[in-house]
Amino acid sequence: MKPTVFPHDTYQTFVLEQLQEHYGRSIIHLSQDWPLILKCWQADLSGITGQLMEQYADQGPEPRDPASMLRSYLVFLFTNPGIGITQWINEMKRTPIYAILSGFSPDDIPGVGTFYEFIERLWPEATKNLKPKKQKPKKNKKKGQKGKKGQKANYKPGKVERFARWSERHMDIVKPLPGDPLFQFFEQNILKVSADLGLIGDPDALSVAGDGTPVVTQAYRRSKPTCDCRANGIYGCHHHRIYSQPDCDGGWDSSREKYFNGYHLYMLAAADSPHDLPLYPRLHPASRHDAVSLVASAVEFNQRYTLGSVNRMLLDAAHDAEAIYELLDKQGTEPFIDLNNRSKKNIETNSDIQISPEGIPICPNGREMKPNGFDKSQNRRKWRCTPSCGCSDATYGRTYHTKSSDNLRLFPKTPRDSQAWKDIYKRRTSSERTNKREKNDYQLEAGRHRSTMMWYMRIYGIMICQHIDAWYESQKDDWNQLKTTICPAAA
Ligand SMILES: [Zn+2]
Ligand SMILES: [Zn+2]
């Protein structure tokens, strides 16, 4: 059977009745559960049912309410993110309020299979990983270069340039991704609410920060042979092997200073959000570099974000590649990227002026020229050297002009030495904070999942929790007044 779309107030009525029946007046003792009660009470998840309607057959028994399945998954992340789903079901049996808040009667809680079936309906692919499990054997070489503490591994610039230019040529082609149904629900039912509440900055002209973080999934990369070479005394053959986590590999974790197996999670976050709210997650193999991940995320998010446009992208120096500036510019996004000066050499121009690695013109006498305003009619930045320098006979000294269109990297539209740049760029760390929150508060890595499908479910679940937390934080006073509606005895 198809599920019934229950409006959110059907759920609220259910919660009122169940809390009365199981707790009565003693609900006033549940004071520490109030934030959770209010979050569930206010978050309307009924949109999931309509979205998944096609995924259910006409025949068969009536399915569990999809909104309640999702809500239960969120209550699990809110309260017990360190346990598995099987343990969560036991937890609901022990703690009736968790079952009630999910939308289940405490004597009628779904089994673990029902949870997995629900999650599979949000995943359009037949396989739960992106790559096939059967792969050519990978050398056990440690992948991803070791860097200094806190420093990301270096990348091969050629790879980033090639991928960014390829993406620029193909950015009008929208390739469906298995995470799309999750993003669709998240955008229409969660992100939109946050946007209406003013929690993600200006949704029409979004400022986005991007950053990657390691997600450790297992201690060793496990695989099984498909041949019997080893039994016959042949070692190190090149036949295919079956990998238990085909989308993962090994990479360098710069903050923990060690190699790990798992994913590289690249997250886009709302830079102007006081709550550091996440926007778009993307899982890559652990060995993937931030700059490569950003290219994929920037194109995919631009294609999928329907609430407005992305005006700015704030990235750290690991993303400082010319092709990234050009890709973002072509998307109508202004890049704000710190320079990563590998070269200390000045750049030659077709005049006697050179350009420093920081993008400052150097006069023939070797002095840095001074900013001298902006020429709007010509759309160029003016520079000059004082007459006292002696590099020119002109009355007001030597002048020079730079244009963003000549070199987006060295001459960004918003100059790096301006106050405007500093004010915008200081919001970049919101992506680092959102990643920390997912890993520390919501124990992202405690997932112990084998499939990319389950990891995406966990990541989107945590992102939804972060948004609902922000709804609560920003409206605490109003929400707390609802206590008397839910339980008159709480007044
Ligand atoms: Zn073999
Ligand atoms: Zn000079």
Query: For residues 346 and 361, what is the distance between their CA atoms, to the nearest angstrom?
Result: 9
Q: Closest-lying ligand to the alpha carbon of 364?
A: 2
Contact (CB, 8 A) for 298 and 327:
yes
Q: Closest-lying ligand to the alpha carbon of 352?
A: 2
| Ligand 2 centre distance from Cα of residue 33 (Å) | 69
pLDDT at residue 141, as a whole number: 53
| Ligand 1 centre distance from Cα of residue 238 (Å) | 6
Contact (CB, 8 A) for 458 and 439:
no
Please provide residue 2's backbone torsions phi and psi, each rounded to the nearest 5 degrees. -75, 150
Q: Closest-lying ligand to the alpha carbon of 366?
A: 2
What type of residue is 62?
Answer: E
pLDDT at residue 153, as a whole number: 55
| Ligand 2 centre distance from Cα of residue 395 (Å) | 13
| Ligand 1 centre distance from Cα of residue 262 (Å) | 25
Distances (CA, A) of 250 to 158, 289, 294: 21, 12, 19
| Beta bridge pairs of residue 214 | 264
| Ligand 1 centre distance from Cα of residue 138 (Å) | 13
Give the SS3 label for residue 47: helix
| Ligand 2 centre distance from Cα of residue 385 (Å) | 5
Q: Closest-lying ligand to the alpha carbon of 234?
A: 1
| Ligand 2 centre distance from Cα of residue 377 (Å) | 26
Per-residue pLDDT of the chain (491 residues; tens, 9 = 90+): 999 999 999 999 999 999 889 887 777 677 788 999 999 999 999 999 999 999 999 998 999 999 999 999 999 999 999 999 999 999 999 999 999 999 999 999 999 999 999 999 999 988 999 999 998 887 655 544 555 555 555 566 788 899 999 999 999 999 999 999 999 999 999 999 999 999 999 999 999 999 999 999 987 788 889 999 988 999 888 999 999 888 998 898 888 888 899 999 999 999 999 999 999 999 999 999 999 999 999 999 999 999 999 999 999 999 999 999 999 999 999 999 999 877 778 888 888 999 998 899 999 999 999 999 999 898 899 999 988 998 988 888 899 999 988 899 999 999 998 999 999 999 999 989 999 999 999 999 999 898 999 999 999 999 999 999 999 999 999 999 898 888 776 65
Q: Closest-lying ligand to the alpha carbon of 368?
A: 2
Query: For residues 40 and 102, what is the distance between their CA atoms, to the nearest angstrom?
Result: 8
Q: Closest-lying ligand to the alpha carbon of 363?
A: 2
| Ligand 2 centre distance from Cα of residue 364 (Å) | 6
Q: Closest-lying ligand to the alpha carbon of 397?
A: 2
| Ligand 2 centre distance from Cα of residue 454 (Å) | 61
Query: For residues 369 and 127, what is the distance between their CA atoms, to the nearest angstrom?
Result: 59
The environment of the single-atom ion ligand 2, i.e. residues with CB closer than 5 A, is 363, 365, 367, 385, 389, 391
The DSSP secondary-structure symbol of 446 reads: G
| Ligand 2 centre distance from Cα of residue 379 (Å) | 24
pLDDT at residue 218, as a whole number: 83
| Ligand 1 centre distance from Cα of residue 227 (Å) | 5
Q: Closest-lying ligand to the alpha carbon of 230?
A: 1
Distances (CA, A) of 36 to 41, 102, 286, 298: 8, 11, 34, 34
| Ligand 1 centre distance from Cα of residue 450 (Å) | 25
| Ligand 2 centre distance from Cα of residue 392 (Å) | 7
Q: Closest-lying ligand to the alpha carbon of 400?
A: 2
| Ligand 1 centre distance from Cα of residue 249 (Å) | 21
Q: Closest-lying ligand to the alpha carbon of 226?
A: 1
